[in-house]
Amino acid sequence: MTKDYLLTKSKYIRGLQCEKALYLEVHNPKLAHFSPETLQKFRDGRTFEKRCKDTFPDGVDISRQLGYQMSRYPLLTAQLLRQEGEVTLFEAGFLYDDVLVLADVVRKHADGRVEIFEIKNSLSVTDTFRNDVAIQHYVVSHSLPAILPADIFQAGLELSHFYLLLRGEGDGLRQEDLLEYALGQSAEVGERVARFKEVAAASEPDILMSDHCDRPYECPFKHYCRRQAAARQAFPADPWR
């Protein structure tokens, strides 16, 4: 099955840091190299995510059913959300504007209200987390009206909360509702999506290494860019051409 999406949440976040990194993640993801420290953060994040998901009883994990068949996530998500009564989904898929996002936890109440929880193994809210929520909200809010007719529920299908679920004091958890922030970012996110699709469809951007390679995260394509920089020094362009 061919992909019916071009961007994902992670590619969008990558593009905010560096459009060249976005291009490489779309076309040459095998060039990525993650440090041992980064891989450990991934493992710690998955452990924290499982702990948070355990607090939601009767959750249906779509990833266990579909694995890496990413193109099928939105259809199964829609089918499960159409069920009557309360439904809780893990890794629910939504597709809009050629962007696929997977939401950590989606909880649909019997009256049609929908709450989304994005899990982050952190004590504080960062700009990257806000951007993460903003792109998810952009896709989910445009997807929901097509999933369920409004007359199924008295209130219709409504995205009522978009929480960041974070570490609290001790072993506790805390949540921050970023729905209002995401609403205010919708137009800008749409413009960025359009720009990033242009980047992905063009040739590899010629962007030199700088401070952005490590902010807010170490770029996994630094090794590739270093090799390019070394080749430029060894074989500089002919100035008379």
CB 49 within 8 A of CB 121: yes
| 116 φψ region: left (φ > 0), alpha (ψ -120 to 50), beta (else) | beta
pLDDT digits (tens, 9 = 90+) for 79-132: 999 898 999 999 999 999 999 999 999 999 988 889 999 999 999 999 999 999
Average pLDDT over residues 52-65: 95
Residues whose CB is less than 8 angstroms from the CB of residue 85 and which lie 6 or more positions away in sequence, other chains included: 110
Confidence of residue 169 (pLDDT cuts 50, 70, 90): confident
Q: What is the mean pLDDT of residues 17-23?
A: 98
Tokens describing residue 236? 């500089």
Single-letter code of the amino acid located at 217:
Y
Helix locations, 54-111, DSSP H: 62-66, 73-81
What pLDDT shows up at residue 233?
78
- Give domain limits for the chain: 7-231
Q: Residue 225: what pLDDT?
A: 96
Of residues 234 and 152, more confidence is placed in 234
Give the pLDDT band (50/70/90) at residue 232. Answer: confident
> Are 190 and 151 a contacting pair, CB within 8 Å?
no
Unique residue bearing structure tokens 């909200």: 137
Q: Which of the listed CATH numbers 3.30.1240, 3.90.320, 3.40.1130, 3.40.50 matches domain 7-231? A: 3.90.320
The mean pLDDT value for 201-211 works out to 96
What's the burial of 163, exposed, middle or buried (CB within 10 Å: 0-12/13-18/19+)? buried
- Please indicate whether residue 2 or residue 28 has the higher confidence score (pLDDT): 28
